[in-house]
Structure 1
Amino acid sequence: MKISARNTFKGTVKTVSVGAVNTEVAIEIAPGLEIVAIITKSSAERLGLAEGKDAYAVIKASDVIVAVDENTHPL
């Protein structure tokens, strides 16, 4: 697999929750660290996603939003 996205995380599928149209997939990329994605049901079927299968979480985004609680100390 070759891909232009720089943020690619290999992991193991932990859960696959199939809905009527979409499927929620949780991929464990490190012990206790999961990335959760909502993809179409047909994409999940085409990829053959199942618990325990190796998969990649690929993140391609032009924006990252950062937030803090209002009660935090200023820098």
Structure 2
Amino acid sequence: MKISARNQFTGIVKAIDEGAVNAEILIELADGLVIASVITLGAVRSLGIEVGKPATAIIKASNVMVGVE
């Protein structure tokens, strides 16, 4: 897969929490970090996303906010 986004993180799908329209996908990276993404159920089905299979989180954002207390 070739894309222009530079922030790509490949890991293993650890969980899929399906709702009525969307699903939260948890991808565990090699270092144990877990990335969560919310996508449509249609996308889950068309991409064949399943627990235990590899997946790549592709992050494309104009900014990231950080807060501390």
Q: Same fold (TM over 0.5)?
A: yes
Distance, in Å, in 2 between the alignment partners of 1:15 and 1:31 is: 17
* Runs of 5+ consecutive residues of structure 1 not aligned to the other structure: 70-75
| Cα distance, 1:30 vs structure 2 | 2.4
Q: TM-score, normalised by structure 1?
A: 0.87
| Cα distance, 1:23 vs structure 2 | 0.6
- Partner in structure 1 of residue 18 of structure 2: 18
- Partner in structure 1 of residue 62 of structure 2: 62
* SS at structure 2 position matched to 1:38: strand
* Runs of 5+ consecutive residues of structure 2 not aligned to the other structure: none
Q: TM-score, normalised by structure 2?
A: 0.94
Alignment of 1:41-52 (within 5 A): 41-52=41-52
- Partner in structure 2 of residue 30 of structure 1: 30
Identity %: 54
* SS at structure 2 position matched to 1:44: helix
Instruction: Give 4+ residue runs of structure 1 displaced > 3 Å after superposition.
Output: none
Distance, in Å, in 1 between the alignment partners of 2:32 and 2:64 is: 23
- Partner in structure 1 of residue 39 of structure 2: 39
What amino acid does structure 2 have at the position aligned with 1:48? Answer: G
What amino acid does structure 2 have at the position aligned with 1:53? Answer: K
